[in-house]
Amino acid sequence: MHQHKAIIEFGVIGLGRFGQALVKSLTEAGKEVLALDGNESKIKQIRGYTENAFVVTALDKDTLLDTGIQNCGTVIVCIGEKVDVSILTTLNVISMGVPRVISKAFSFEQGLILEKIGAEVVYPENDMAVQLANKLVSSGILVSIEMHGNINISELKLTGKIDGKTVQQANLRQKYKLNIIALEHNGKTTTDITPDLILKENDKLVVVGNRENIIRFEQYLSCPR
C-alpha cells in the first residue's frame, strides 16, 4: 500500500453486501472510489470496479493513514454489525479531518453514538446503498424514488441554465427521454404541464425516466453557463 496524494471522491471501509453495492453503484456512475476490507477475496472481487482496493488487517489510525483514506472527500464506514469496530473506525476517520463521514448502523442506539461523534448515519442494506449512491452522485436531485427497471421519479431544482425557457423549448422528452409530471413555483405546485409553461431558476421539477438520463439532466443543470 502507499499514501495517495490525489484527492479521491469516496472511500468505503467494509465490503459486505452494503459496501459492495455502494462501491459498484458509485464506480458505475464514474466516481473514483477507495475500498478497504480485511477479506482478500472481497478485495479481489471489487478490483473489477476499482483498482484502489486494499486489504487491511487492522483499522487503527496508522493503518488507515497508510491507505490514503484521509484524502477522500467522503468516507462511508460499512461495518455496522461490529459495533465497537464501527464506532472506533468512524472516530479515527473523523479525527483525520475527512470532510464527510457516513456510517452504517444496525440499531437506533448505535446510530445515536455515531451521530454524537460527528458521523451521518444510514441503516442497511443493499437498497439503501443504491439510494445513498444516487444521492452522493447527484447532489442536485432533491428527492429520488427508485422504481422497477431502473426507472426513477426524481425532484430537481432548476438552475439558470433553463431559466425562462418553456417546457417545449427545454424539450426534456427528446433530449433526455424524461417526462415532467409536476412543477413547483414559489411554493405552488401544478401538474398541468403545458408546452408553453415557463420554467424559472429555483423552480422544483418532478420528472420520471431512466436513472442515467436523470443524472445527465442534473449534470447539465449544474454545469456553468
Same domain, 70 and 162: no
Q: Residue 30's pLDDT is what?
A: 87
* Between residues 3 and 220, the one the model is more confident about: 220
Domain that residue 84 falls in = 8-137
* Between residues 20 and 130, the one the model is more confident about: 20
Does residue 3 sit within a domain? no
The CATH number that applies at residue 208 is: 3.30.70.1450
Segment 10-19 shows an average pLDDT of 93
150: left (phi over 0), alpha (psi -120 to 50) or beta: left
Same domain, 100 and 188: no
Same domain, 154 and 116: no
The CATH number that applies at residue 71 is: 3.40.50.720
Residue with cell 465497537: 84
Same domain, 69 and 106: yes
Query: What strands lie across the sheet with 204-210, from one edge to the other?
Result: 141-146, 151-157, 204-210, 179-185, 188-190
Same domain, 45 and 86: yes
Per-residue cell: 62:
496508522
pLDDT tens digits, residue range 117-154? 999 988 765 455 556 566 665 556 666 666 556 678 88
Segment 148-173 shows an average pLDDT of 87
pLDDT tens digits, residue range 51-90? 999 999 999 999 999 999 999 999 999 996 789 999 999 9
The number of folded domains in the chain is 2
Helix extents (H) in the chain = 17-28, 40-46, 61-67, 83-95, 108-116, 126-137, 167-170, 172-176, 211-222
Q: Residue 143's pLDDT is what?
A: 62
pLDDT above 70 covers a percentage of the chain that reads 84
Same domain, 116 and 152: no
* Single-letter amino acid, residue 77: V
Q: Single out the residue of 150, 95, 149, 84 nearest to residue 117, CA to CA.
A: 95
Contacts of residue 84, defined as CB under 8 A and 6 or more positions apart, other chains included, come to: none
Domain boundary among 137, 171, 189: 137
Q: Residue 163's pLDDT is what?
A: 93
Same domain, 83 and 107: yes
Residue with cell 444516487: 134
Q: How confident is the model at residue 35 (pLDDT cuts 50, 70, 90)?
A: very high
Same domain, 17 and 127: yes
Q: Residue 136's pLDDT is what?
A: 61
Q: Say if CB 89 and CB 22 are below 8 A apart.
A: no
Q: How confident is the model at residue 165 (pLDDT cuts 50, 70, 90)?
A: very high
